[in-house]
Amino acid sequence: MKDDILTPASARVLNFLGLLAMIGVLLGAYVYQFYFRELPCTLCQLQRVGMVAVAFGAAMNVMLGPHPRHYGVCLVSAVFGMAISIRQALLHINPFFDTKTAQPTLATAANPPFGQPVLGLHLYIWGVVLFATVILAVGIVQLFRGQFKPSPPEPEWLRRLASIAVAALVVVAALETLTTFLECGFGACPNDGGWNWWILR
Amino acid sequence: MMTVTFGLIAISCFFLWYRKAEWGWAAVMIALIIGIIIFMGDVDFSTNLGVQL
């Protein structure tokens, strides 16, 4: 396989697109949160941690150039996020299993899904899909060694775009920190899915 | 705990943007470890992990 199929500049553009996609998903989660007035549970928050961390790995590639360590940050974060998503999906996979008593039951809605579905799937299922896609994409991109070669300085337009995208990530990460503080303080987050802000209690 | 986790990542993002700081990856790994600790605290091990196995 030719090594120069994926140049450092094109790898940066791919990571830039991945970074924008992650920022879009995180902002979409905010729209969902405020539209349905449902605060994220602990597992939902941990999935957001995984998404911001994946975005950070992509941001490192965009700002500093492609490096296996930066892709490693993406992979470790995606595996973390997928473990949390699978855990939450398994919790709600059987509506007739009461997770409080660990017993099957015939009561309807003994174990209802958490939150509203989006396009027919709940957010934790989308989480599994998203993190699996990240793992697959990072694995495929890493097949091309040409991106890791020393390269001339990137063009000015790419440098500016990278700076704007990473600035957007800084804003989103700061927003996540602020809303998490308002929801949970420095303690455990509420798991009832209601409009139960720590700051208002 | 969750606020600290997000805060660590936010600080890493800021210094990556402002100073092109490379050390942020270590802070993100620490944030993920704190996330694992929160996750383990959330699992109810007394009820078969809360999942029908």
- CA B23/CA A57 separation, integer angstroms: 12
Question: What residues of A are in contact with residue B27 (Cβ under 8 Å)?
Answer: none
Among the listed residues A157, A184, A177, the one whose alpha carbon sits nearest the alpha carbon of residue A16: A157
Chain A within 8 Å of B45 (Cβ-Cβ)? no
- Structural domain range at position B43: 2-50
CATH number of domain containing A183: 1.20.1550.10
The distance of B23 to chain A (nearest Cα, Å) reads 10
**pLDDT greater than 70 at residue A156:** yes
Higher pLDDT, A104 or B31: B31
**pLDDT greater than 90 at residue A196:** no
Residue in A57, A73, A91 closest to B50 by CB: A91
Q: Chain A interface, mutation test: which of B15, B47, B52, B53, most A Cβ atoms within 10 Å?
A: B52
**pLDDT greater than 80 at residue A108:** no
Task: Provide mean pLDDT across the span A80-95.
Answer: 88
The distance of A98 to chain B (nearest Cα, Å) reads 8
pLDDT value, residue B47: 62
pTM of the predicted structure, to 2 decimals: 0.90
Place of tokens 């120069």: A4
pLDDT value, residue A149: 85
Query: Is residue A45 included in any domain, yes or no?
Result: yes
Q: Chain A interface, mutation test: which of B17, B33, B36, most A Cβ atoms within 10 Å?
A: B17
For chain A, percent of residues with pLDDT exceeding 70: 94
Residue in B2, B7, B48 closest to A102 by CB: B48
> Confidence class of residue A5 from pLDDT cuts 50, 70 and 90?
confident
Q: Chain B interface, mutation test: which of A97, A100, A170, most B Cβ atoms within 10 Å?
A: A170
SS3 for A134-155 is: HHHHHHHHCCCHHHHCCCCCCC
Q: Which of residues 171-190 of A touch B (CB under 8 A)?
A: 173-174, 176-177, 180-181, 184-189
pLDDT value, residue A112: 72
What average pLDDT does chain A have?
88
Query: Is residue A154 included in any domain, yes or no?
Result: yes
pLDDT value, residue A186: 86
Residue in B17, B29, B31 closest to A167 by CB: B17
The one-letter code for the residue type at A102 is: A
pLDDT value, residue A86: 93
Chain A within 8 Å of B40 (Cβ-Cβ)? no
Query: Is residue A89 included in any domain, yes or no?
Result: yes
Contact B2 A42 (CB under 8 A): yes
Structurally, chain A folds into a number of domains equal to 1
Residues in contact with A54: Cβ distance below 8 Å, sequence separation at least 6, in sequence order? A22, A73, A74, A77, A78, A81, A131, A134
For residue A1, what is the DSSP state? -
pLDDT value, residue A1: 56
**pLDDT greater than 60 at residue B4:** yes
- CA B15/CA B19 separation, integer angstroms: 5
Q: What is the ipTM of this complex?
A: 0.90
Structurally, chain B folds into a number of domains equal to 1
Query: Is residue A2 included in any domain, yes or no?
Result: no
